Structure 1
Amino acid sequence: MASLSNCSSLRHGVSLWCPQSASLTRARTQVSPSIGFRSFRRSYVVASSAFANENREFVIVGGGNAAGYAARTFVEHGMADGRLCIVSKEVYAPYERPTLTKAYLFPLDKKPARLPGFHTCVGSGGERQTPEWYKEKGIEMFHGDPVTSIDIGKQTLTTNSGKILKYGSLVVATGCTASRLPEKIGGNLPGVHYIRDVADADALISSLEKSQKVVIVGGGYIGMEVAAAAVGWKLDTTIVFPENHLLQRLFTPSLAQRYEELYQENGVKFLKGASIKNIESGSDGHVAAVKLEDGSTIEADTVIIGIGAKPAVSSFESLGLNTTIGGIQVDGQFRTRIPGIFAIGDVAAFPLKIYDRMTRVEHVDHARKSAQHCVTALLSAQTHSYDYLPYFYSRVFEYEGSPRKVWWQFFGDNVGETVEVGNFDPKIATFWIDSGKLKGVLLESGSSEEFQLLPKLARSQPVVDKAKLQNASSVEEALEIARSSLKD
């Protein structure tokens, strides 16, 4: 469940990035660093004293990873008890959302993950923040009651139930919603599933228990992870997507081929370059087949749609916040153009300092780090800008009895030429080199020490000898060549 987006089309092959355009440059200048943050903070603390006992000096809107890590940071600064509340459409305390397309979908005999086992912040080795944790820390929680409107003049927000809350500082952490197929082509038929929360995953598990033939629409993270879980259920599984290969935003064609072969060895079928015309139902109204644009039909009793996600900004569109890049645009402290309102995680479009461009990242690592940076800046004298290094990973086939567990990590920017080293049995590495500099690196089945090297390489962007990398006889040798290029 991850992606990085800063434009609607990719102009560098499989690059995750788009070049900085004049329009983005203009949009970027609209995020003013001179918001008067410190003077405003003094004024709102005084103004909020009247309602501090109602836990509304600070309000977090949203209940995902970013909200959980933001709450922990408030606690670490001693500013949560009686001051912080969280308003969310989720009915659960914040949890590590990536689990939903991985271990949560395993069949019962393969020890699936369940709450409270993956509440934040266990994903980063922190304390498990169960509902009791929030109560003990004095954090008021409003579950299942999403925000419907905000009055920035009165500094109030209204929830779906009609509750009106006054805030001093507002942190928007609403994340994304799943992109859906239109209802007119069967996107909402019984048996068609999308995954963004626990309720979605529970509904899918209920279908998988009764399924024989599964069709997954989308060849990205969701498609790959759900397909791997479906293999654990021993189901007839087909992945359909319009691109030429899996995870086209990141994988090179040769790298994708390695993964596709692994999935095929596990019984997964692929239909590449295929588009959906409509999803058909049977006489009982339940999904029965997926019809493609070429006229062919695939039988299915469960269909999972994994075609991306959209920032959840509808409640904030009337505020005049800059959303030209998709999410809510912020500066290096995650401040929006409206004093006292911040945005973090998937929903935030922020300056990617290392590559000097605006972007939006849908990934748990960014959700965690942006939350920590934003709240620390809000509560302290921290003034340095967020300096994020893009990071993506996936873990699949991790259930008991799997012949091979897969875990890869990628750091940096996938631009330029690529060098692939290794035979995928079990290790492989791909290096992206642009103008002689190492820009990004992906490693499958590495050791902990090797994985720790990757961010150092991607952040340093050392000049590397491409010929030496190409001639490396093993992944270990290639990584050593790259390591030796780092400056001491």
Structure 2
Amino acid sequence: MSPAARFWSRKAMASASSFAAAASLKRGVSPWRPEPPALGRTTPRRSSIGLGCFRRSYVAAAFDNENREFVIVGGGNAAGYAARTFVEHGMADGRLCIVSKEAHAPYERPALTKGYLFPLEKKPARLPGFHTCVGSGGERQTAEWYKEKGIEMLHEDPVTSIDIDKQTLTTDSGKLLKYGSLIIATGCTASRLPEKIGGSLPGVHYIRDVADANSLISSWEKTKKLVVVGGGYIGMEVAAAAVAWKLNTTIIFPENHLLQRLFTPSLAQRYEEFYKDNGVKFVKGTSIKHLEAGSDGHVCSVKLEDGSTIETDTVVVGIGAKPAVGPFERVGLNTSVGGIQVDSQFRTKIPGIFAIGDVAAFPLKIYDRIARVEHVDHARRSAQHCAKSILTAQSHTYDYLPYFYSRVFEYEGSPRKLWWQFFGDNGIICY
């Protein structure tokens, strides 16, 4: 080939590359490396020609996440355990982005109503001590851990909308994020008392994240009378922690006994007697009519449906949780148990989109029905199962036995520490 021919050949190749780069920018695909088909998809995606010189200007101009192959929405336990699985399979570095409303890296949420609420002299749990995955004996995944593993973390910026066709997400701050495969791990939000009956008054607390727990602890430093609304996990754990603060504590719930979903009447009686021995009072079989505010606008009493009134200066509400489906209704909801409908691999009806943890309505194999489980153990296991399904050839059905547990009165100086575990729907009690 003559020098002139070689010159025009190189020029033609350069023009073709420039054209391909421009086309890939138009499609929203990163031009700085070939983009493989997103794992878990049923249809392949076109790849672009790798041109490293375009990387920085493109990322800044088009999308606000550098890692676009896999995106996890949610910053709870499920997200943390999924991230660990990506790392274990060598698929996290430069490929995984986590976007969350949380200000912290994922942590073991059960600590918030257990060790976190203890008084300072009782050595309370604090971050970074309970970051994921220490709850299952794994490595503590601090913010530094995610950085070292090449995982992009976007904090305090919840996703507000999704464009399924363009495979993009928009966050509260206006960031536009691109994804290949998307894992929804948004968990639940605490159920609240209606605002019209005082559910949002100053002095009324709900616990779902570290900020909530910090707010409650600050209030307890000057609390004298505490009312806990709800006789389930949250109510029992909060009341047990309040004993360590020596607070005048009353638990109110409409059922006939504590934890009616799992406890038998005789078992509940044993626990209620222990709480009473520690100074906790019970008001059972009645509901909240409204919360009353004092002259300063702060909650001062609880009016019950039976006509009685209980004075208080702090209220903690633990009446359950709701799946945080947020902007993902179009992905496909389950109308019976709530949450996002998925199959045994945690795939939604939209190819390339998955849901795990509390927000997922999944086939519960052992009972042959669709279920939604709000528990840390399911969050961990569903995250690992889903990630492995995306990253490997794993195709077996998620086989899960519902598991529930609680630990109360664990602080220093407590005369007795109580633990319980339940397996299955009706519960096998282990001491």
Question: Where on the TM-score scale, by shorter chain, does this alignment land: which range?
Answer: 0.7 to 0.9
- The aligned counterpart of 1:152 is 164
Cα displacement (A) at 1:315: 1.1
Count of paired positions: 384
Alpha carbons 2:40, 2:390 under 8 Å: kept? no
Alpha carbons 1:45, 1:168 under 8 Å: kept? no
Where does structure 2 lack aligned partners over 5 or more consecutive residues? 1-36
- The aligned counterpart of 1:360 is 372
Is 1:326 matched up with 2:338? yes
Letter matched to residue 441 of structure 1: I
TM-score w.r.t. structure 2 length?
0.86
Pair 1:358–1:319, CA change in 2 (3 A): closer
- The aligned counterpart of 1:417 is none
Alpha carbons 2:38, 2:181 under 8 Å: kept? no
2:48 and 2:184 mapped to 1: Cα distance? 21
Deviations 1:101-135 (A, max 9, x none): 00000000100000000000000000000000000
1:47 and 1:374 mapped to 2: Cα distance? 28
Pair 1:146–1:45, CA change in 2 (3 A): farther
Cα displacement (A) at 1:413: 2.5
Deviations 1:68-116 (A, max 9, x none): 0000000001000000000001011000000000000000010000000
2:296 and 2:411 mapped to 1: Cα distance? 34
Match of residue 429, structure 2, among 442, 454, 476: 442
Matches within 5 A, 1:68-467: 68-414=80-426, 440-444=427-431
Alpha carbons 2:40, 2:181 under 8 Å: kept? no
- The aligned counterpart of 1:4 is none
1:363 and 1:407 mapped to 2: Cα distance? 16
Cα displacement (A) at 1:218: 0.2
SS of structure 1 residue aligned to 2:256: coil
1:313 and 1:264 mapped to 2: Cα distance? 39
1:78 and 1:347 mapped to 2: Cα distance? 27
1:129 and 1:188 mapped to 2: Cα distance? 34
Letter matched to residue 301 of structure 1: D
Alpha carbons 1:48, 1:57 under 8 Å: kept? no
Letter matched to residue 273 of structure 2: E
- The aligned counterpart of 1:24 is none
2:46 and 2:383 mapped to 1: Cα distance? 21
Cα displacement (A) at 1:317: 1.5
Cα displacement (A) at 1:325: 2.5
Give the percent of matched residue pairs that are identical in Structure 1 and Structure 2: 80
Which protein has the larger Cα radius of gyration, Structure 1 or Structure 2?
2
Pair 1:331–1:37, CA change in 2 (3 A): farther
Deviations 1:366-400 (A, max 9, x none): 00000000000000000001000110000000000
1:362 and 1:243 mapped to 2: Cα distance? 20
Alpha carbons 2:169, 2:177 under 8 Å: kept? yes
Where does structure 1 lack aligned partners over 5 or more consecutive residues? 1-35, 415-439, 445-488
Alpha carbons 1:323, 1:329 under 8 Å: kept? no
1:297 and 1:405 mapped to 2: Cα distance? 32
1:207 and 1:84 mapped to 2: Cα distance? 39
1:362 and 1:314 mapped to 2: Cα distance? 17
1:133 and 1:278 mapped to 2: Cα distance? 46
Pair 1:40–1:189, CA change in 2 (3 A): same
1:188 and 1:358 mapped to 2: Cα distance? 34
Letter matched to residue 326 of structure 2: S
Alpha carbons 1:48, 1:168 under 8 Å: kept? no
Letter matched to residue 41 of structure 2: F
Cα displacement (A) at 1:38: 6.7
- The aligned counterpart of 1:457 is none
- The aligned counterpart of 1:58 is 70
Pair 1:89–1:358, CA change in 2 (3 A): same
1:180 and 1:37 mapped to 2: Cα distance? 39
TM-score w.r.t. structure 1 length?
0.76
Cα displacement (A) at 1:412: 1.8
1:90 and 1:185 mapped to 2: Cα distance? 29
1:55 and 1:332 mapped to 2: Cα distance? 27
SS of structure 2 residue aligned to 1:349: strand
- The aligned counterpart of 2:44 is 43
Letter matched to residue 403 of structure 2: Y
1:123 and 1:352 mapped to 2: Cα distance? 24
Letter matched to residue 311 of structure 1: P
Alpha carbons 1:191, 1:286 under 8 Å: kept? yes
SS of structure 2 residue aligned to 1:227: helix
1:282 and 1:39 mapped to 2: Cα distance? 56
SS of structure 2 residue aligned to 1:54: coil
- The aligned counterpart of 1:28 is none
Cα displacement (A) at 1:45: 8.5
State the superposition RMSD in angstroms.
Answer: 1.9
Letter matched to residue 443 of structure 1: C
- The aligned counterpart of 1:469 is none
Alpha carbons 1:214, 1:303 under 8 Å: kept? yes
Alpha carbons 1:214, 1:301 under 8 Å: kept? yes
